[in-house]
Amino acid sequence: MKNLHIIEHPLIKSKITQIRRKETATKMFKELVSEISSLMCYEITRDLEVEEIEIETPVQKTIGYHIKGDDLVLVPILRAGLGMIEGIQNLIPNAKTGHIGVYRDHDTLQPVEYLCKLPLLMENRNVIVLDPMLATGGSAVKAIDILKEHNVKSIRLACLVGCPEGVEFLHKHHPDVAIYLAAMDEKLNENGYIVPGLGDAGDRLFGTQ
């Protein structure tokens, strides 16, 4: 499917398996989410712009490359997206961070926006939206609607676990947004949870279940 990247790698596969396990406790869950996000970052940023810079090695002058990271904004969808920040920021320290708070109403499964705090001058920014779960896709579509109101330059969506329903909904509303997943699961169950999934990502990250 166009604009869908499922990042296949043995390290990602085994770490995703560990976060799926119901006995994986909060500390380990948090560390694994961060590590998987770092590993995914390699693929998500493959076409990031670099600029040439002249540097000097101990031997001679040469041309090197510098990531134009300061036009990059990471936007976690609160709460669970927060768990993906550190792993990516470790690799791109000059990326800025904005926050969008959206929660899914438990009864209707509809997204409810409660916070939007973005860096200034979003017009020229390339954005990576972060959320571990792409279930119905409602939360991601809502967050991307908000970002488009700020006329950002480009948007990518990085999630750990997705499902066909969420991917389809996202593509229908935002066909221009590339989706990166570490795993594509089977389906949604009758409660709107991804199957087999990993449960409620926010609750598992913050120990609130």
Q: What is the contact surface with ligand URA in residues (CB under 6 A)?
A: 133, 135, 193-194, 197, 200-202
170 annotated as a binding-site residue: no
Of 50 and 112, the one with the shorter C-beta distance to ligand PRP is 112
Q: Is 103 in the site for ligand PRP (CB under 6 A)?
A: yes
For residue 185, how many C-alpha atoms fall within 13 Å in the half-sphere facing its CB?
Answer: 25
197 binds ligand PRP (CB under 6 A): no
Out of ligand PRP, ligand URA, none, what residue 103 binds, judged by CB under 5 to 8 A for its kind, is ligand PRP
Helix runs in the chain, H state only: 10-20, 26-44, 85-89, 138-149, 164-173, 201-206
- Closest CB to ligand URA among 31 and 200? 200
Q: Is 105 a catalytic residue?
A: no
Task: Name the DSSP letter for residue 78.
Answer: E
- What the block records as the tokens of 87 is 């792993």
Closest residue by Cα to residue 116 from 93, 153, 90, 144: 144
Is residue 203 part of the annotated active site? The answer reads yes
Stretch of 24-32, 52-60, 74-82, 148-156 lying at the interface with ligand PRP (CB under 6 A): 74-82
Q: Is 108 a catalytic residue?
A: yes
Sign of CA dihedral 71, 75, 42, 94: positive
**Marked catalytic residue, from 104, 125, 156, 204:** 104
Name the residue type at position 75: V
Active centre residues (catalytic)? 104, 108, 200, 203
